[in-house]
Structure 1
Amino acid sequence: MSYFFSNNLKLSYQTAGSGEPLVLIAGITCDNQHWSLIKEQLSKYFWLIMPDNRGVGKSETPNVDYEISDMAQDIITLLEHLNISKTHILGHSLGGAVAQYLAAFHPEKVNKLIISHSFVKFRPSSIMFCEHDYLLQESRAAPMARATGILPFIYSDEFINDSGNVESFIQNISASKNQQSLHSYKQQIKVISKFDSTDYLHNVSAETLVVSGKSDKLAPPQDSIQIIQKISHAQHQEIKGAHVPMWEIPETYIDIIKKFLTTM
């Protein structure tokens, strides 16, 4: 694990592979282990830069609330730290919101852009999901209780119907060593609730792929359609599965990323 400072916050990141740089920006509550099932294969083709967003993983949590713009500035500062002038960006969910802001306001830093399972504005039902999960954590609910609340929202029925997948998910919740603090989780919920790229998304000029999951309940395909209505030149690819393709269908996800980023 490596570290850099952004606005006096000590933030962590991990790198892997070589080649053209690709920054992977994870979603709400997720640290750089979010990419663990796709990291090895993607690192054969790209230099992966995987930050822990502020307040997640081994990154410090700010004392005050912050905005998407602050998270985007963290990425800009990381690029400067690594002497990267321009990079591919893949943002997933909340990370996709950060990626939108980056591409709209710092176009000179973005080569190709992938906005995955994200949104122009986070829908109220999805905010309620996050708040419900927060309350479960606050009450120290058992891993099974959290799994019951989380699984139907982020995985497809096909995935959940395999009892082995459910057992593995519960074990991962129980064994996680990088539990996010409740304070940090609440901060992220505020950030994602306030996010709205309606007024600036049309400024994105990078070649863009928007990816959605057919069974995604947190950011349904309609949310991706709203994005491509704002980015007129963007491509849209709907894939099977729900909200977390890097966990549910990693091989398919790898192929989509690799094809888009390596095609001239």
Structure 2
Amino acid sequence: MPNAAAIDGTRIAYQVRGVGQPLVLLAGQSNSHTWWDPVRVDFEAQYRTITLDWRGTGESDAPDEVYSTVGFADDVIAVLDDLGLDSAHVYGTSMGGRVAQWLAINHPERVDALVLGCTSPGAAHGYERSQEIRKALADPARTDRVLLELMYTPEWLAENHGPYYVLGDPTMPSYAKRRHLVASNRHDAWDGLPSITAPTLILHGTDDIFSPATNAQLLADRIPGARAELITGSRHAYFHEFRSVASPAVLAFLTAAQHGA
């Protein structure tokens, strides 16, 4: 597996599949590249997909130091540099969407088109999950089940018994999980969002209460020219359960962005 060297020397593992223009896929908090395994094939025929293991996950190094969404964005830049890529399309979901915001803000020349999924501008200005959800997630005996119910509809869970790819990297050290949580909680890109110049699509499930769907229009109003699309009936893992709607929406947007539409 190839590795890139981050600014501080941390080794960032990454994966490349498919052909065509580069498309970076960014996973959620405390997850490795396997987050994208169920749907990555949807993009590989048209795009050279690039994923990475966040520091603290997968095959990447896991330094016990402060993590941030800004720093994660710099790690993505290190991967693009290692691949010799001047720019790429970027599709980030959940915390990956927060990182994608910083990519577009701090490195505008590296982002051709931007897709933000099930994400928010940060707690200071965005809509956050309820205290009840936070308490439920803090119970180790219930965490996985609570997460699954936040990610997928009951109907889907009744018919799909795993494996599940969105419950976090089980190999992560406990300190790295805490570092990821703090990094995501401290995210605040509000002031920088109006400076984003990349064509931007925002996707969100209407029934997402993990990252409330009201964040979608909030981001669309803040990012110049951005467009929000809500996927009816879907929860946080809309990109997986509702892939028949979500993946074509992303592909159509990227095609239009390439042609300046």
Give distance in 1, aligned partners of 2:19 and 2:128. Answer: 40
Residues 56-105 of structure 1 show CA distances to partners (whole Å, capped at 9, x for unaligned) of: 11111122112211101001111110000011000101000000011011
Aligned residue runs from structure 1 range 29-40, under 5 A: 29-40=30-41
Give distance in 2, aligned partners of 1:113 and 1:76. Answer: 15
Matched, 1:164 2:159: yes
Structure with a larger share of its residues in helix? 1
Aligned residues: 251
Contact preservation (8 Å) 1:211, 1:236: yes
- Cα root mean square deviation, aligned: 2.2
Structure 2 length as normaliser, TM-score? Answer: 0.89
Residue 153 (structure 1) aligns with: 150
1:244/1:257 CA distance change after superposition, 3 Å: same
> Which of 188, 201, 222 is the matching residue for 1:196?
188
Residue 54 (structure 2) aligns with: 53
What SS does structure 2 have at the residue aligned with 1:30?
Answer: coil
1:226/1:178 CA distance change after superposition, 3 Å: same
What SS does structure 2 have at the residue aligned with 1:89?
Answer: strand
Give distance in 2, aligned partners of 1:107 and 1:127. Answer: 35
Residue 21 (structure 2) aligns with: 20
Aligned residue runs from structure 1 range 208-227, under 5 A: 208-227=200-219
Matched, 1:4 2:9: no
Residue 101 (structure 1) aligns with: 102
What SS does structure 1 have at the residue aligned with 2:55?
Answer: coil
* 1:206 CA drift (Å): 0.5
Q: Aligned AA for 1:231?
A: I
Give distance in 1, aligned partners of 2:181 and 2:131. Answer: 7
Give distance in 2, aligned partners of 1:127 and 1:29. Answer: 20
* 1:130 CA drift (Å): 6.0
Q: Percent identity?
A: 25
What SS does structure 2 have at the residue aligned with 1:90?
Answer: strand
Residues 99-158 of structure 1 show CA distances to partners (whole Å, capped at 9, x for unaligned) of: 00110111010100001110011445368746754551xxxx4xxx33332122222344
Contact preservation (8 Å) 2:129, 2:212: no
Give distance in 2, aligned partners of 1:126 and 1:78. Answer: 35
Q: Which shifted more, 55-64 or 18-27?
A: 55-64
Listed as ranges, the gaps of 5+ residues in structure 2 are: none
Q: Which 4+ residue blocks in structure 1 deviate beyond 4 angstroms?
A: 126-132, 175-178
> Which of 243, 246, 260 is the matching residue for 1:250?
243
